[in-house]
Amino acid sequence: MKKESKKNDFQLSPEEMEILKKYKKRSFLAETWRGLRKNKGAVIGLIIIALIAFVAIFADLLYDYEEVVIMPDYSATLMSPSLEHPLGTDEFGRDVLARIVHGARLSMEIALLSTAFSLSVGGIIGAYSGYLGGKFDAIVMRIMDIFLAIPNMLLALAIVAALGPNLFNLILAIAISDVPRFARILRSTVLSIKDSEYIEASKAAGARTTTIVFREIIPNCIAPIIVQASIVMAAAIIIAASLSFIGLGVQPPAPEWGAMLSSGRSYMREYNYLVLFPGLAIVITVLAFNLLGDGLRDALDPRLKR
Amino acid sequence: MHRYILKRLVQLIPVILGVVLIIFLIMDLTPGDPARMVLGNMASEEAIAAFREEQGLNDPLPIRYLRYVFDMLRGSLGTSYRSSRPVIDELLARFPATMQLASASIIFALVISVPIGIVSALKQNSLFDTVGMVAALLGIAMPAFWLGLILIISFSLKLDWLPSSGSGSFKHLILPAVANGVSCAANIARITRSSMLEIIRQDYIRTAKSKGIGKMKVVLKHAMGNCWIPVITVAGLQFGTMLGGTVIIENVFAWNGVGDFLLKSISAKDTPCVLGGIVMFTVVFSVVNLLVDIVYAFIDPRIKAQYQ
């Protein structure tokens, strides 16, 4: 066997071909999954997120929005958890579990949309900034630094306070406050790959800057983007709940978790489950995203493994 | 060393000007006429026009921004629409309460998190480590305001040990400081553990150990020196998150500070107070970041050496 392959350097043995195929087949996703599977926390996080996403998508089939989640039922107000209402009912007689289920949809929407916005805007800014360098980079990064000097929550608070509290403005506020984070991450990743041969090759082949940024640079920054996205989504859920809690986010009667806590607060002496359950929903969701984020970081970036 | 501090102070100026500009621009988006808001719907057109003229509301945005900055340098942040008192007086009256809460939170966070992080690292994969790190994960996932509510239910309403609202005594401080400090503590514990894990595998620690120095001394004297740098970085960043959290924690505990005042100003549409409050918070955050950088210079000989 050995002799054969030595004779002709360009001819691979069937075994070697098999090995090569195996490596070729392993795409980015498969590679990530392999790393992720070994991390118990990440798997738990992923399962929880999948469950919450499932519940969020099929919320309407589980509980009717108008009839169960919004419509008051004054014959069943403030009932403690029972078989009929596993998590009890609120001051308007609405089933707390049904509201938490529909709240999952809201929280996921807010987290996904705000992260998608900040990721694309921040990502493009960061990628161009890192790739172009020079004055453009210096100016853009100074602006990002100024945004980063304002604590996230306060920036989001200022935006909602100015634009008025509703779902759209809440998403926009969270998204804007996360833009610099993505810009920073993308920029530093771009700086590390900017001088790679494949980029040189693309440049030599006459590709335009836009082509290089979108075709070569951004796809190679996927790993840090995914890690950052899961962390940002966790933070977005907390900020959304916090702002809704103080009346500057989603408005009642919408079943947002923070808004539910805000109204449950008046009854917490006698009916503490009204404060307990929506809060637990937040904790579990945020925990799942953080676990997944930690696992992804370990799987995608072995240098950061601790 | 003085040169370093001076340099950092100078760098702070454009950041603060930029921060004020951003918040100024955002607050300018507020719909509605401030003059109408202050004088009410019954006010005559002349009164409205006079108010706009007096407050300089008719000037273009750049002029208003520059005037705001110059006023700020002279220690004025405008006048409250509600109370007609200077915004700066309103803020300064409440500032000590907020700083008291914020510093209590960060002290609480450091005191519990650093030892937990160190012990977790030294006894990696032990029961203590596992429990500690699961607790840290939970601490990060918990919204501070919810923890605040749970603490009120347990320690005020059920056990009746601590007051649920108000400020003034040490007893009033405990629950809000814990609620506000837990996620910060969780983050610091995690970073302490991971940087300690990295440090105790270094050669100089092995050398120190092989010289026969006691384990405690190796950790406290040799390892901690390098461990502080990431810990202080994270603590500084967390301070910003915590200042943001203060706004909501003050609301939960009816703590009469800048955060609570800011929320009341938002619902009253008192724009000068909202602007002033957010500017004050961000300036405090920038100054804390500056202090963190200066502390670095003291504990990190590499930075110190550059300026000597």
- Please state, in angstroms and rounded to a whole number, the distance separating the CA atoms of residues B226 and B221: 10
Interface with chain B: mutation pick from A147, A152, A153, highest number of B CBs within 10 Å: A153
A14-23: average pLDDT: 70
Task: Give the A:B interface size as CB pairs under 8 Å.
Answer: 134
- Give the tokens for residue A32: 């990530």
**DSSP code for B112:** H
Q: Where are the alpha helices (DSSP H) in A95-133?
A: 96-132
Confidence of residue A260 (pLDDT cuts 50, 70, 90): very high
As a whole number, the mean pLDDT across chain A is 86
pTM of the model as a whole: 0.87
> What local confidence, expressed as pLDDT, does residue A21 receive?
66
Which segments in chain B show pLDDT lower than 70? 307-308
| Residue among B143, B263, B285 minimizing CB distance to A149 | B285
Tell me how far apart the terminal alpha carbons of chain B are, to the nearest angstrom: 7
**Rounded Cα distance, B278 and A112, in Å:** 27
pLDDT given at position A277:
94
C-beta of residue A132 within 8 angstroms of C-beta of residue A114? no
Report percent pLDDT > 70 for chain B. 99
Q: Give which of B283, B294, B251 is closest to B7, Cα–Cα.
A: B294
Q: Which among A284, A108, A128, A100 has a CA at the least distance from the CA of A221?
A: A128
Work out the pLDDT band at A291, boundaries 50, 70, 90. very high
Tell me if chain A has a CB within 8 Å of the CB of B140.
yes
Which chain B residue's Cα is nearest to A162? B30
- When pLDDT is cut at 50, 70 and 90, the band that residue A1 belongs to is very low
* Class level of CATH domain B96-256: mainly alpha
A166 inside 8 A of chain B by CB: no
pLDDT, residue A286, reads 96
Q: Tokens in use for B81? A: 């629409």
CA of B138, closest CA in chain A: separation in Å?
7
Tokens of A228: 């950052």
- How does pLDDT run across A246-258, given as a tens digit for each residue? 999 999 888 999 9
- CA–CA dist A161, A159 (Å, integer): 5
pLDDT greater than 60 at residue A9: no
Q: Which long-range contacts (CB under 8 A, 24 or more apart) does B215-221 make?
A: B219/B118, B219/B122
pLDDT category of residue A3 using cuts at 50, 70 and 90 = very low
Distance CA A234, CA A54 (A): 18
- The pLDDT confidence band at residue A20, using thresholds 50, 70 and 90, is low
Look up residue A273 and give its two tokens.
């489950």
Q: How confident is the model at residue A2 (pLDDT cuts 50, 70, 90)?
A: very low
- Residue reference for tokens 């991450």: A185
Task: Give the C-alpha separation, B8 to B73, whole Å.
Answer: 19
Is residue B67 within 8 A of residue B275, CB to CB? The reply is no
Q: What is the pLDDT of residues A140-171, one digit of tens each?
A: 999 998 998 888 889 999 999 889 889 999 99
Provide DSSP, B138-184: HHHHS-HHHHHHHHIIIIIIIS--S-SS--SSHHHHHHHHHHHHHHH
First to last CA, chain A: 42
Q: Is the pLDDT of residue A306 over 60?
A: no
∠ CA A63-A67-A72, rounded to 5°: 120
Tell whether A279 lies on the interface with B, counting CB pairs under 8 A: yes
Q: Is the dihedral of CA A236, A239, A244, A245 positive or negative?
A: positive
Whether B51 has its CB under 8 Å from any CB of chain A: the answer is no
Structure tokens at A194: 């900017």
Residues 6+ apart with CB under 8 A from B26: A158, A159, A162
User: Is residue B84 left, alpha or beta, with left meaning phi > 0 and alpha meaning psi from -120 to 50?
Assistant: left
**What is the per-residue pLDDT for B195?**
87
The confidence score (pLDDT) of residue B56 equals 77
Rg (CA), chain A: 24
**Angle A230-A234-A237 from CA coordinates, rounded to 5°:** 135
Whether the Cβ atoms of residue A243 and residue A160 lie closer than 8 Å to each other: yes
> B93 — contact with chain A (CB < 8 Å)?
no
Contact between B143 and A279 under an 8 Å Cβ cutoff? The reply is: yes
State the pLDDT at residue A301. 66
Testing the interface with A: which of B23, B26, B130, B289 to mutate, by most A Cβ within 10 A? B26
- Beta bridge partners, B79, equal B86
- Token code pair at residue B53: 């003229």
Instruction: Please count the residues of chain B.
Output: 308
Q: Would you call the peptide bond into A253 cis, given omega within 30 degrees of 0 as the criterion?
A: yes
Tokens 């203590």, residue?
B128
User: What domains appear along chain A, each with residue ranges and CATH number?
Assistant: 32-72+86-304 (1.10.3720.10)
Residue of chain A whose Cα is closest to the Cα of B121: A306
Asked whether residue A23 carries a pLDDT value surpassing 70, the answer given is no
Ramachandran category for residue B160: left, alpha or beta (phi over 0 → left; psi -120 to 50 → alpha): left
The rounded distance, in Å, linking the Cα atoms of B16 and B14 is: 5
Which pLDDT tens digit goes with each residue over A40-58?
Answer: 888 999 999 999 999 999 9
Provide the residue ranges of all domains of chain B, joining segments of one domain with +.
Answer: 11-73, 96-256
The encoded tokens of residue A50 equal 């999948």
